[in-house]
Amino acid sequence: MTAIPGAGQVLPTGEGAPAGPGRGPRRRLGGWSFDTVSFFVVFLGLPLALFLVFVIWPFVQAVFYALTNWSGFSAEFDVVGLANFTALVQDPRFLNAVGNSVMFGLFIPLITIAIALTFAILITVGGSGKGQVRGVRGAGFYRVVSLFPYVIPAIAVGIMWRLILDPSNGLVNGILTGLGLDRFQSFAWLGNVGTAMPVTMFVVVWGFVGFYMLLFIAAIKGVPSEIYEASRIDGAGRWRTSWSITLPLIRDNVQTAYIYLGIIALDLFVYVQALNPQGGPDNSTLVMSQQLFRTAFTEGKFGYASAMGVAMAIVTLVFAALVFTVNRLAGGRSERGRG
């Protein structure tokens, strides 16, 4: 939801033993004075009530609705068990959407991380080859600019690129025709089955590269400089150092980034909705979330749409579990930090 990447970053710190190391025991409730009772009711009760009613309760309800044939605003519905799910796995439209979402889930993280890592390495090792990792001159400027696409609203990013990719008045076709490529005179980037998905991926990558670049820069700067010193003395060049020293050491950051990006890509909605609200040519960019919205709010099949929501949650969790397992099998640590 809102800025989850930032949230995830602090999770490991947040989860700790009941009393932090080196600190005294937590305070206990000091009797039942009015001050204590009112304090707890307001400080814990109020936020918790809000959270339970508007977040947790809908999640629980969704799982229940997924087992019903509730089809609209009437109060009646039957519990149909797993019928919605058997219908889902035979629904060509939804399966197509799952396929597209998986494509996004595979390629967007890969491309984004490859580019973000490259940029992060260029910024950090591009500077002097001696002493500490200092980074290129103007690194601050590059960092600030890189985050622009991440902070502006995704819907604005989507519409901006829609205007840029416009077949007849867009910047892209303007440049290409200007270069003498006349076949792009009015080429519909978002209207062709062959280009709609790659172009959509490009726009999403454009939006996210900067943020992950920042994460990787921070991770690289966290590597002790003695390690770089040692590898230089051993005669490793810049690129060798990046490949054999930096990458393995920030591997866990890459895993975290991969999971966030994978989840973002599987749950993609805003970008595709801005670029191709109807699902694109031949539904080639239709994703699960779009199909869920249509099923619920256009067709009024709330039980069926809830089943889609459950399916989305399952796909997302399976994906995260897969990444963890693969990384662990390949020799990475499941715990973050480098001991």
Partner 1 sequence: MTAHAQAMPRASRAASRDRTARAAGRGDRLAAGVSHTVLVIWCILVIGPMIWVLIGSFKTSSEIFASPFSLPEHWSFTNYVNAWVDAQIGQAFLNTIIVVGSALVLVMLLGAMCAYVLARFEFPGRRAIYYLMLAGLTFPVFLAIVPLFFVLQNAGLLGTLPGLIVVYVAFALPFTVFFLYAFFQGLPDDIAEAAAIDGAGNWRTFFQVMMPMARPGLASVAIFNFLGLWNQFILPIALNPDQQNYVLSQRLAAFVSSAGYAVDFGAMFAAVVVTIVPVLIAYVIFQRQLQGSVTAGTMK
Q: From its phi and psi, is residue 138 left (phi > 0), alpha (psi between -120 and 50) or beta?
A: left
Establish if 41 lies at the interface with partner 1 (CB under 8 A).
no
147 interacts with partner 1 by CB under 8 A:
yes
260 vs 1, 31, 43, 112, 271, CA distance in Å? Answer: 11, 44, 31, 11, 16
The amino acid sitting at 257 is A
- 51 strand-pairing partners: none
What are 296's two structure tokens? 């619920």
CB 154 within 8 A of CB 208: no
Conformation bin of residue 337: beta by default, left when phi > 0, alpha when psi is -120 to 50: left
Q: Which of 145, 181, 193, 321: binder of partner 1 (CB under 8 A)?
A: 145
The answer to the question of residue 35 lying near partner 1 (CB under 8 A) is yes
Site for partner 1 in 79-138 (CB under 8 A): 118-119, 122-123, 125-130, 136-138
Min separation Cβ 215 and partner 1, Å: 6
Element (H, E) at 254: helix 251-266
Can residue 241 be called a binding residue for partner 1 (CB under 8 A)? Answer: no
| Residues 180-219, interacting with partner 1 (CB under 8 A) | 206, 209-211, 214-215, 218-219
Contacts of partner 1 in 220-239 (CB under 8 A) = 221-222, 237-238
Query: CB under 8 A: which stretch of 54-62, 76-84, 87-95, 180-188 binds partner 1?
Result: 54-62
CB of 104 closer than 8 Å to CB of 123: no
For the CB of residue 129, give the shortest distance to partner 1 in the complex, in Å: 5
Q: How far is the CB of 179 from partner 1 (least distance, A)?
A: 13
Minimum distance of partner 1 from residue 298's CB (angstroms): 12
By CB under 8 A, which span of 43-51, 88-96, 100-108, 183-191 interacts with partner 1?
A: 43-51
Alpha-carbon gap, residue 270 to 278, rounded angstroms: 13
Which residues, in sequence order, are CB contacts of 327 under 8 Å at separation 6+? 251, 252, 255, 334
For partner 1, the binding residue among 79, 95, 159, 322 (CB under 8 A) is: 159
Q: For residue 72, what are the CA distances in angstroms to 60, 90, 123, 146, 312?
A: 19, 22, 54, 45, 21
What does the H/E/C string look like for 139-189? HHHHHHHHCHHHHCCHHHHHHHHHHHCCCCCCHHHHHHHHCCCHHHCCCCC
The answer to whether residue 32 forms part of the interface with partner 1 (CB under 8 A) is no
Options 44, 79, 89, 181; binder of partner 1; rule CB under 8 A: 44
Contacts to partner 1 from residues 246-265, by CB under 8 A: 253, 263
> Which of the stretches 98-106, 180-188, 269-277, 325-333 binds partner 1 when contact is defined by CB under 8 A?
269-277
Burial class of residue 28, CB neighbours in 10 A (0-12, 13-18, 19+): exposed
- The residue within the footprint of partner 1, chosen from 97, 101, 108, 142 (CB under 8 A), is 142
Query: Which range in 16-24, 92-100, 106-114, 185-193 contacts partner 1 by CB under 8 A?
Result: 16-24
Binder of partner 1 out of 103, 164, 227, 323 (CB under 8 A): 164
